[in-house]
């Protein structure tokens, strides 16, 4: 089956900008205490659930994967871009990284205790999100958690340049309520959400609020939370 156009364009874009993006984003997490707190809470919950290893989907150069490893998680990364995977392996040789697509993960059913999609659903068109979330549900073990991060908004933002390099890439900001509804429809129950206002100072100014959603694949004994 042919790959969707957005997959091809996303891979090509990040292959193109691997080096400048890696250098630019290296210190970003260090200036985002609330983001680190979100990842820290996720790590504690996954550790307590003890349901299996963790994967970061759309790991790029591996900075979030490495941060999660530093929090004590058994974690590996997957990314569309071969050049990003190569850079992640170079920068973090003690960790495992592989090429792959969130539309069809080369992972066994119910094999993961946690999954992180940290700004990686932002290039997925609305009509393909149910497929992505169904795949997240498939690979998570009962009791496992997924942590998502994405920009908040309504309008698709097309980009034909990043870091001085020509690309063809669409950014899809989304409303947390809509994403939560799609996750719930996929069988992943929302557990927490945070929306913070955009940081406007420093080296990483943001143009939109940022959303963080935590969801859980229920255990067989769990009851659906109607809220």
- pLDDT of amino acid 223: 61
pLDDT in tens, 103-141: 999 999 999 999 999 999 999 999 999 999 999 999 999
CA 23, chain centre distance (Å): 19
pLDDT in tens, 7-33: 999 999 999 999 999 999 999 999 999
Asked whether the beta carbons of 112 and 143 are under 8 A apart, the reply is no
**CA pseudo-torsion sign 212, 125, 11, 108:** positive
DSSP state of 199: P
pLDDT in tens, 161-219: 777 778 888 899 999 999 999 999 999 999 999 999 999 988 899 989 999 999 999 99
Asked whether the beta carbons of 128 and 135 are under 8 A apart, the reply is no
Measuring CA to CA, which residue among 186, 195, 198, 151 is closest to residue 172? 151
Checking if the pLDDT of 149 tops 60, the result is: yes
The CA–CA distances, whole Å, from 180 to 131, 189, 195, 217 equal 15, 8, 13, 13
Checking if the pLDDT of 99 tops 60, the result is: yes
pLDDT in tens, 104-113: 999 999 999 9
Domain ranges of the chain: 5-216
Strand boundaries in 11-126, DSSP class E? 54-57, 75-79, 97-99, 112-118
- pLDDT of amino acid 227: 43
* Distance of alpha carbon 41 from alpha carbon 54, whole angstroms: 14
User: What's 5-216's CATH class?
Assistant: alpha beta
pTM value > 0.85: yes
pLDDT in tens, 38-75: 999 999 999 999 999 999 999 999 999 999 999 999 99
């Amino acid at each position: 089956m042919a790959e969707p156009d957005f997959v091809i364009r996303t891979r090509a874009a990040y292959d193109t900008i691997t080096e400048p993006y890696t250098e630019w984003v290296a210190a970003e997490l260090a200036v985002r205490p609330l983001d680190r707190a979100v990842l820290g809470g996720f790590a504690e919950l996954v550790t307590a659930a003890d349901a299996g290893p963790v994967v970061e989907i759309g790991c790029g150069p591996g900075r979030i994967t490495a941060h999660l490893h530093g929090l004590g998680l058994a974690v590996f990364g997957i990314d569309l871009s071969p050049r990003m995977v190569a850079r992640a392996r170079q920068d973090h040789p003690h960790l495992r990284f592989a090429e792959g697509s969130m539309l069809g993960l080369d992972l066994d059913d119910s094999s993961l205790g946690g999954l992180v999609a940290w700004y990686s659903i932002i290039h997925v068109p609305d009509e393909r999100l149910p497929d992505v979330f169904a795949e997240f549900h498939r690979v998570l073990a009962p009791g496992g958690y997924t942590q998502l991060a994405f920009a908040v908004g309504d309008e698709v933002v097309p980009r034909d340049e990043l870091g001085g390099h020509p690309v063809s890439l669409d950014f899809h900001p989304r409303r947390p309520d809509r994403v939560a509804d799609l996750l719930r429809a996929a069988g992943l129950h929302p557990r927490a959400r945070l929306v913070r206002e955009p940081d406007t100072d420093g080296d990483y100014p943001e143009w939109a609020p940022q959303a963080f959603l935590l969801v859980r694949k229920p255990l067989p004994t769990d009851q659906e939370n109607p809220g």
